[in-house]
Amino acid sequence: MKNLRLIFGSGVQRRRKALGWTQAQLAERVELSADGISQIERGKIAASFDTIGALAEALDVHPAELFGGLPLVPGKRHLPLTKIVERLRDATPAQLKKIGVVVNSLLED
């Protein structure tokens, strides 16, 4: 399994870039240094629980999204997606196969 610090750091970096922010802009929002953000994004240091929470809040995502737990989506308006994911967790393999066929057909180019 990939190092959790790298997974988390990559999630922070992807979301920050999706918002069009620099490391300095994110750092200002969470009261860290730009170097601290850089180290977190590169997996060089581990973020405390408080820092994880502050980063998630500043980036407007659930902390799990920064660890790759849910797809990174804009804003906190991802409740429908969260509900879908929760329902998928209870689906049988046969149901998941059918769902995959439907989703693939809907998302084809």
Handedness of CA 44, 46, 50, 52 (dihedral sign): positive
Tell me how many degrees the CA angle 22-23-27 measures, rounded to the nearest 5: 120
How does the average pLDDT of the chain come out, rounded?
A: 87
Q: What confidence score (pLDDT) does residue 62 get?
A: 86
Scored b (16 or more CB within 10 A) or e, 60-84 reads: ebbbebbbeeeeebeeeebeeeeee
Residue 87 CA: distances (Å) to CA of 22, 56, 92, 101, 105: 36, 24, 10, 17, 20
pLDDT category of residue 1 using cuts at 50, 70 and 90: very low
Distance CA 26, CA 1 (A): 28
Distance CA 54, CA 3 (A): 21
Q: Is the pLDDT of residue 50 over 90?
A: yes
Dump the DSSP string for 60-92: TS-HHHHTTSS---SSS--HHHHHHHHHHHT--
- Mean pLDDT over 60-72 rounds to 78
* pLDDT tens digits for range 82-106: 778 778 888 888 999 999 999 999 9
Q: What confidence score (pLDDT) does residue 86 get?
A: 77
Q: What confidence score (pLDDT) does residue 108 get?
A: 86
Q: Which CATH fold topology does 1-74 show?
A: 434 Repressor (Amino-terminal Domain) (1.10.260)
pTM over 0.75: no
Lowest mean pLDDT among 43-52, 57-66, 72-81: 72-81
